Amino acid sequence: NMKALKKGRLVHGDLSEYNIIFSKDVYFIDMSQSTTYDNPRAKKFYLKDLQNIKKLFERYKYNSEFVEKEIEGLI
C-alpha cells in the first residue's frame, strides 16, 4: 500500500487502476519503474500517483473528502 511505499522511500511512478489489485488486501503491481525519493522528479511522480488514486475512488463514488484526508496523510 501507499504507506509501505512511503516507508521504503519509493514512488511507484505509474500508479493507476491497472496496477492495483483489490482483494482482501490491496496490492500494487508493476513496480519496475519505481524510483526512490532521491530522484529529482520523485515528488512529481508521487503527486501524480495520488491524483490517479483519487480519481479512481471518485469514479466509484467513494467519498472524495475521505480520500483527500487519506492522501494528505501520506504526503
CB 10 within 8 A of CB 34: yes
The whole domain housing 33 covers 2-72
What CATH number is given to the structural domain containing 29?
1.10.510.10
Structure confidence at residue 44 as a pLDDT band (50, 70, 90)? very high
pLDDT at residue 40, as a whole number: 96
pLDDT at residue 23, as a whole number: 82
pLDDT at residue 74, as a whole number: 56
What string of DSSP letters covers 12-26? Answer: -SS-SGGGEEESSSE
Listed residue (43, 45, 51, 44) closest to 31, CA to CA:
45
Does residue 14 carry a catalytic annotation?
yes
pTM of the model: 0.72
pLDDT tens digits along 46-66: 889 888 888 888 888 776 666
CB 50 within 8 A of CB 73: no
CB 11 within 8 A of CB 5: yes
Catalytic residue (one of 25, 30, 38, 49): 30
Does residue 25 carry a catalytic annotation?
no
Task: Please state, in angstroms and rounded to a whole number, the distance separating the CA atoms of residues 11 and 50.
Answer: 10
Structural domains counted in the chain: 1
pLDDT at residue 64, as a whole number: 63
Higher pLDDT, 69 or 20: 20
